[in-house]
Amino acid sequence: MKKQVATSSRSKSTPAKGAKSAAKKTVSRVAKTPKTDKELEQAMVNALLNSEPKATKARKTTKKQKTPKRAAADSLELAVQIAQGMFEKKAEDIRILDMRLVKGASADFFVLSHAESDKQVEAIANSVEDEVVKHSNEWPRHREGFTNLEWVLLDYFDVVAHVFQREKREFYGVEELWGDAIDIPFEGK
């Protein structure tokens, strides 16, 4: 006894509708594949000439991008801009520390100052940001300390600004910690 197998209405010898055109496209792609380096180069040139530029949307990136190291003169200029921003809001004992020759230093320059109150610390930090944006159009890569306003840190990658309350500056002694750094004199304008 033979079992009957159900077959579809399509016969096995005729391909589906789209299969013929797909087969033609595959054959035409294979037939046009360049064989030599010169043909490959010509095919690439033709593809570039025949393609239309696509409109791309500007998108925000969330990944942190590596910041290229700036020239030493630019870092010093940025340190002076930061110190000037501190000076404009009456920061006390402004010091620029050249950290380039200090082994293990995380930045080229530290700019330090202190204030008597948390409101003044905040005003100094905001003034530093404004001064740097005005002259260099640059924002800090990282900001810390705006919740307590005892020690605000603004990280511009090569230059780090520290704004303390007097007690915290004395307690942490950052100048003593980095005693090998060269102290650059600053007089505000």
Domains defined for the chain, CATH in brackets? 72-184 (3.30.460.10)
Q: Does the pTM of the predicted model rise above 0.85?
A: no
pLDDT of residue 84: 93
Per-residue pLDDT of the chain (189 residues; tens, 9 = 90+): 555 554 444 445 555 555 555 545 444 444 455 566 667 666 655 554 554 444 444 444 444 444 455 555 588 899 999 999 999 999 999 999 998 888 888 888 999 999 999 999 999 999 999 999 999 888 999 999 899 898 999 999 899 999 999 999 889 888 878 888 888 888 877
User: Helix %, strand %, coil % for the chain, to 5?
Assistant: 40, 15, 45
Q: Which amino acid is at 174?
A: V
Q: How far apart are CA 136 and CA 169, in angstroms?
A: 28
Among all chains, which residue has been given the structure tokens 């055109």?
21
pLDDT of residue 90: 92
pLDDT of residue 40: 63
pLDDT of residue 14: 53
Residue ranges of alpha helices (H) inside the chain are: 17-31, 37-50, 72-88, 118-136, 166-172, 174-177
How many alpha carbons lie under 13 Å from residue 116 in its C-beta half-sphere?
A: 2
In our burial notation (b when 16+ CB lie closer than 10 A, e otherwise), range 104-118 reads ebebbbbbbbbbeee
